[in-house]
Structure 1
Amino acid sequence: MQKIDAHHHFWKYSPVAHSWITEELQILKRDYLPEDLETEIKKSGYTGVVSVQASQTEAETDFLLGLAEQNEFIKGVVGWLDLQAENIEDRLAHYTQHPKFKGIRHIVQDEPDDQFLLRKDFLRGIEKLKNFDLTYDILIFPKHLKVALEFVQKFPEHKFVINHLAKPFIKNQKIQPWKDEITELAKYENVYCKLSGMVTEASWENWKPEDFKPYLDVAFEAFGSKRLMTGSDWPVCRLAGEYGEVMPIVEEYLPDEASKKAVLAQNAIDFYSL
């Protein structure tokens, strides 16, 4: 069966470009490139990946697209462009010439303004994505879910995907108000969700697969098996577990072959037009 890892990162480590990698994240302070990942995905039975931006520069987008040209197993790239720029339509036209350029992400979780998603200049940029058949990855914390709801309501025909289940408080086994708010967001059928990044929201040293079941239950009840996809968040996941430890969490949760086919491959293929 084909399997797609719908969320991971590559980088050539730079203390400036990757200033978010603090001392406690020491394992991430090195280059992570295709040759490091390809062996891991093959051992776990994955046939392709979606590479997602980790720095907010066009150079990052160029870097990922260059890797995608050289590596067949990279099926798509979610890059970064300045959606608030006056010339954003020109930049989108330029990058969509590359067949593996599939979508945009902005690191909204790090913005000091909790209402960032609703800024007029940002909304103007988001509006342009539909003209180029591009997706948008929503990277937020639980505190942003109400704002995200207002955001997606403005674009009923756009393709959105929540990254990392919006990072619920798994370590503390806190489920509300995250449960109610993400369930409300899931009522919009153009919104998908990635079952990714869970181990780093749990206890890094002591997580168990059953820690994630309450959150997976909510996600499946809210989105159904047709709007969920799985992702490793490699190499960030290495803070709490290796690739072969992380990917089985979702795989072993899935109840039947139909849901496995959808969540492990087909939903990502359809969403990103891989």
Structure 2
Amino acid sequence: MSELKIDSHQHFWKYHPNIHEWMDSSMEIIKNDFMPADLHPLLQKNNIDGCVAVQADQSETETLFLLNLAKENQFIKGVVGWLDLCAEDIDIKLEKYSKYEALKGLRHIVQDEPDKNFMLRPNFKNGISLLGKYNLAYDILIYQEQLPAALELVKTFPEQAFVLDHMAKPVIDGKVDPVWASYISELGKHKNVHCKVSGMVTETKWGTWQKNDFVPYLDQVFGSFGPDKILFGSDWPVCLLSAQYYEVVDIVENYLVHLPSTVRKKVMGLNAIKFYNLTL
């Protein structure tokens, strides 16, 4: 097996207070521009061969911004963008954007939707139903209270490729919530659902974590999804709120060191390549 490594989840942005209004006063460190020239040295230093750029703003302008960055930077192997999946003309939009080879999936910031059943709305499900036609994956970004809707969604579309971002953001405080664990177990039973071990450091009390804090949560994910359906992601630059890039990599690699090398290769790269159909 190849040793190719892929960061399956990171972001780029040119900071603007109106666009990135979710960044509150505690997030000053990420209220800056974060561009490919900032990430590339970090990838090289950590022996990572490429990345998948994921949307952080819900606009087609954002999607085109990321697609242009991928065109200009060979190490950006894929883009998870945003289109309005609830729109009546979504099929037309999907056909338009299908000309971009770098577009590998779509995401909606469902975690910010007040309706915990947002993903079960008929117009949203109509959008999801069209993604397979264009060979696009869907990234599920939610909090724990939205897990029931996520489970219903993936059951409704068994042929659609889904990946759960950030393990559904469990609170990492040493006490694994049994409700979260139960839904992770159920989602893991579905062959069309993968999971990103990403975003963990920002679900702790920032900057005070120890590597062992993550072990019970990783145990749950690995036990539920297995070695073929787990993807490493850094969530850079959001991770900088609580950890440096190399520390995020080290948390996952430290966990994997006790597992067979074949598992490490899958989680750190091969699974992302296969899931997103990346061309290297």
Q: TM-score higher than 0.5 here?
A: yes
CA distance in 2, matches of 1:114, 1:172: 26
- Determine what percentage of the aligned residue pairs are the same residue: 51
Which segments of structure 1 move beyond 3 Å, counting only runs of 4 or more?
none
1:167 alignment counterpart: 169
2:263 alignment counterpart: 259
The residue type equivalent to 1:218 in the other structure is: Q
CA contact (8 A) 2:165 2:195 kept: yes
Give the deviation of 1:181 after TM superposition: 1.1
CA distance in 2, matches of 1:229, 1:7: 9
Aligned positions of 1:98-137 closer than 5 A? 98-137=100-139
CA distance in 2, matches of 1:13, 1:256: 41
1:202 alignment counterpart: 204
Query: RMSD of the alignment, in Å?
Result: 0.8
2:48 to 40, 46, 49: 46
CA distance in 1, matches of 2:174, 2:14: 33
CA distance in 2, matches of 1:118, 1:151: 7
CA distance in 2, matches of 1:173, 1:107: 26
When the two structures are aligned, how many residues end up with a matched partner?
274
CA contact (8 A) 1:18 1:55 kept: yes
CA contact (8 A) 1:5 1:232 kept: yes
1:272 alignment counterpart: 276
CA contact (8 A) 1:142 1:168 kept: yes
CA distance in 2, matches of 1:30, 1:173: 34
The residue type equivalent to 2:68 in the other structure is: G
The residue type equivalent to 1:267 in the other structure is: N
The residue type equivalent to 1:40 in the other structure is: L
The residue type equivalent to 2:50 in the other structure is: G
TM-score, normalised relative to structure 2: 0.97
Q: Which runs of 5+ in 2 are unaligned?
A: none
Give the deviation of 1:148 after TM superposition: 0.7
1:139 alignment counterpart: 141
CA contact (8 A) 2:176 2:217 kept: no
2:247 alignment counterpart: 245
Give the deviation of 1:7 after TM superposition: 0.2
CA contact (8 A) 1:49 1:74 kept: yes
The residue type equivalent to 1:261 in the other structure is: K
1:220 to 219, 222, 229: 222
CA contact (8 A) 2:12 2:35 kept: yes
1:25 alignment counterpart: 27
CA distance in 1, matches of 2:144, 2:127: 24
Give the deviation of 1:174 after TM superposition: 3.2
Give the deviation of 1:186 after TM superposition: 1.1
The residue type equivalent to 2:61 in the other structure is: A
Give the deviation of 1:172 after TM superposition: 5.3
Q: Which runs of 5+ in 1 are unaligned?
A: none
TM-score, normalised relative to structure 1: 0.99
The residue type equivalent to 2:165 in the other structure is: N
Which whole-Å deviations, capped at 9, do the CAs of 1:71-114 have from their partners, x for residues lacking one? Answer: 00000000000001111111111111011000000000000111
